[in-house]
A and B are shown apart, each in its own frame.
Chain A
Amino acid sequence: MAKILLLPFILLAFFLSFTVTAASEKSFLDVVKQSGDTFDTRAVVLVKVVTKETVLSKEEDQRGAFRVLARKRQIERYKCSSCHSGKAVTARRGLELSHGDIVLEHGSDGRGLSCIDCHHADERDYLEDKKGRKIDLDHSYQLCGQCHFRQKRDWLGGAHGKRLANWAGERVVYNCTTCHNPHSPRFEKRFPATYSVPLD
């Protein structure tokens, strides 16, 4: 008899235990949110060492300064001032040196940009922003960011652009011009690298 009286209580306890576990069911995101200690990514032993030339960024992300791929070495005829120096150029070399190969498709239709919107008018080895600051070609994000400030914010944080080679270790990121041609920054249409077959 006593056992029969106990039965409802046992059942109740049984169901309660279920609801309690359901309510306290944890998501791994709780652990993620609580992970306060900063993980030392530089402690990870890397097998892939970045050998490309980089510069220390002039602006900071959440960790502080980071490294950006250098640009100047990539520019074939840098320094610009070696030609833009006021000295005479023979007509024969004029065509080669007049940047006729550059297609400028930057800025919205009808009011696209011109050379000196970004390039420094006098000191040709540098860029110049709208406030008149001289900007190094290795730090072009400072220039691009004056219009593309959303992209720059995301780039600093890590939601735009990409890291080079490693997720761990010192942060090395692509600069704006690694991916975008500054003169026509939109990616060109092309065929995909491969195709997919139907799943089995």
Chain B
Amino acid sequence: MTADKEKKASRHNMMAKKSDRRAFLKGMSMAAAAGSAALTAGCIPSVEAASSEELQLRWQEFFKKNYRLMTQQEKDATVARLERLAKLRNDLDVQVGSYPPLENVLYGYAFNITRCEGFMECVTACVKENNLDRKTNTQYIRIFEMEPGQLDPSTGDGQYYHEVPVENAFYMGTQCFHCEKAPCTRACPTKATWKEPDGIVVVDYDWCIGCRYCQAACPYYGRRFNWGKPEIPAKELTTRQHYLGNRIRPVGKMEKCTFCIQRTRKGRLPACVEACPTGARVFGNLLDPESEIRYVLRHKKVFRMKEELGTQPKFWYFID
């Protein structure tokens, strides 16, 4: 029903509008849908494999704009298409959101290196919440076991697996630091990654071409690449998703921590903060003088990693 309507509407638009390049391409592609399997091999399956509805949705998805250029109407449309595609392709009922940032909010994060004991419950919570690929063991968060006297995680052990906490060691977690002057966003050739007004650095997965320049530009190893199609057990899928957040990434895209944008924009804590058994993680609004994060910045001894680079991360480490 709605697909039919959309079809009609798009046809109507094509007739009414002056033909620009995008519309022309869209028209062309629709007309050529049946015969163009060879041309699009790789992105689109053979015609026999997919229903006509799915094919149409995919074409429309292929020619959508960058998220930042979309009107709310267009965002709603693409979100509806993504939900329908998830149902058609994998029989998954997901709710993809595209809700905007809250006003007067700038997210900040603090990590207590005295309190963290390396239980890594944050990591499992993150993997589950953000629908990360279980096959390649993708993780946004890394916890390093550090020797006293060191503060650079590259000197620590990021692959420990033994009973924790160990005597005479401390634990330091890293993830995307959501830099105010994020080098990754400047490296992107397709403007597929940017900083949102609430400070969250996001990726438009459909505009990412997978060149990994951003990964090379990030001094904190905050970005991850999808080498394959993410494999997630259907039972463990987080169905509340956000367009810029935990929706299932296509193969060959860049992804990263989004401060759980799908949660935090609804007032919830990120999954890692909620899961932390020791209370080592503090999250809040930097623009609220009475928030916990501002208390930490005011009263605790804080530092940021590689501050000399001038990237201005919104992620602080502190000690008790």
Interface residues of A (CB under 8 A from B): 27-29, 31-32, 35-39, 41, 44-48, 62-63, 150, 154, 157-163, 165-169, 174, 179, 187, 189-200
What 5 additional pairs, Cβ within 8 angstroms, besides A48-B266, A162-B279? Answer: A35-B286, A39-B291, A154-B300, A194-B120, A194-B127
B124 within 8 A of A: yes
Write 14 A-B pairs (CB below 8 A) sorted by A numbering: A28-B286, A28-B312, A31-B106, A31-B287, A158-B291, A158-B293, A159-B300, A168-B267, A189-B163, A191-B161, A191-B163, A193-B124, A196-B120, A196-B143
Q: A-B contact count, CB below 8 Å? A: 165
**B78 interfacial by beta-carbon distance below 8 Å:** no
Contacts of A189 in B (CB 8 A): 163-165
Dominant secondary structure at the A interface: loop
In the complex, the chain B residue whose C-beta lies closest to that of A63 is B290
Q: A174-B279, A191-B161 are in contact. Are A165 and B312 (CB under 8 A)?
A: no
Query: What's the minimum C-beta distance from A200 to chain B, rounded to whole angstroms?
Result: 7
Taking A159-B282, A193-B121 as contacts, is the C-beta distance between A41 and B288 under 8 angstroms? Answer: yes
Contact between chains at B102 and A44 (CB < 8 Å) = yes
Whole-angstrom distance between the Cβ of A36 and the nearest chain B Cβ: 7
Task: Judge whether B267 and A190 touch: CB under 8 Å.
Answer: no
Known: A192-B119, A197-B159. Is A45-B266 also a contact (CB below 8 A)? yes
Tell me the smallest distance from the CB of B185 to a CB of chain A, in Å: 15
A157 partner residues in chain B, CB cutoff 8 A: 292, 295-296, 299
Whether B289 pairs with A36 at a CB distance below 8 angstroms is yes
Which chain A residues border B199 with CB–CB below 8 Å? 28
B117-138 interface mask toward A, CB cutoff 8 Å, 1 = contact, 0 = none?
A: 1111101100100000000110
Query: In this complex, what residue of B is CB-closest to A169?
Result: B267
**In this complex, what residue of A is CB-closest to B137?**
A197
User: A24 vs B164: C-alpha distance in the bound complex, in angstroms?
Assistant: 47
Tell me which residues from 84 to 134 in chain B have a Cβ below 8 Å from any Cβ of chain A. Answer: 102, 104-106, 108, 110, 112, 115, 117-121, 123-124, 127
B59 at the interface (CB under 8 A from A): no
By the criterion CB–CB under 8 Å, are A190 and B291 in contact?
A: no
Tell me if B279 and A166 are in contact (CB < 8 A). Answer: no
Give the residue name and chain of the A residue nearest to B215 (CB): A200
Within 8 A of A (CB), among B131-177: 136-137, 139, 142-143, 158-165
Are A166 and B269 touching (Cβ within 8 A)?
yes
Are A163 and B269 interface neighbours, CB within 8 A? Answer: yes
- For the complex, what is the distance from the CA of A73 to the CA of B267, rounded to whole Å? 27
Report, as a range, how many residues of chain B touch the other chain. 35 or more
Q: Is the CB of A41 within 8 A of B268?
A: no
In the complex, are the beta carbons of A167 and B285 less than 8 A apart?
A: yes
Q: Which residues of B16-39 have CB atoms within 8 Å of chain A's CB atoms?
A: none
Contacts of B112 on A, CB cut-off 8 Å?
Answer: 159
Expressed in whole angstroms, the Cα–Cα distance for A166 and B209 within the complex equals: 35
The verdict on A38 contacting B288 (CB below 8 Å), with A158-B282, A179-B278 known, is: yes
Contact B318 A39 (CB under 8 A): no
- Contacting residues, chain A, for B285 (C-beta < 8 A): 39, 41, 167-168
Inter-subunit contact A195/B269 (CB<8 Å): no
Contact residues in A for B303 (Cβ distance below 8 Å): none
**CA A169 – CA B291 in complex, angstroms?**
11
Contacts of B290 in A (CB 8 A): 38-39, 62-63
Q: How far is A4 from B104 in the complex, measured between Cα atoms in Å?
A: 51
A191 and B164 in contact (CB under 8 A), knowing A48-B268, A62-B295, A179-B278? yes
Task: Point out the residues of chain A lying under 8 angstroms from B266, CB to CB.
Answer: 45-48
For residue B188, CB closer than 8 A to chain A, the reply is: no
> Which residues on the B side are within 8 Å of A199 (C-beta)?
142, 221
Give the docked Cα–Cα distance between A50 and B124 (Å). Answer: 23
Closest Cβ–Cβ distance, residue A179 to chain B (whole Å): 7
Q: How far is the CA of A160 from the CA of B280 in the complex (A)?
A: 8
CB distance A187 to B161 under 8 Å? Answer: no
> In the complex, what residue of chain B is closest to A37 when comparing beta carbons?
B104
> Complex Cα distance A152/B227, Å?
47
Closest chain-A Cβ to B226's Cβ sits at a distance in Å of: 11
Which A residues are in CB contact (< 8 Å) with B320?
150, 154, 159-160
CA distance A106 to B17 in the complex (A): 77
Complex CA–CA separation, A29 to B316 (angstroms): 12
**Chain A CB within 8 A of B10 CB:** no
**Among B106, B159, B268, B318, residue most surrounded by chain A Cβ atoms (within 10 Å):** B268
CA distance A184 to B316 in the complex (A): 31
The one of B123, B268, B286 that contacts A196, using a Cβ cutoff of 8 Å = B123
CA distance A31 to B198 in the complex (A): 13
User: Which of chain A's residues have a CB closer than 8 A to the CB of B118?
Assistant: 192
The 7 closest A-B pairs by CB, nearest first: A158-B292, A39-B288, A168-B267, A192-B120, A157-B295, A162-B279, A35-B287
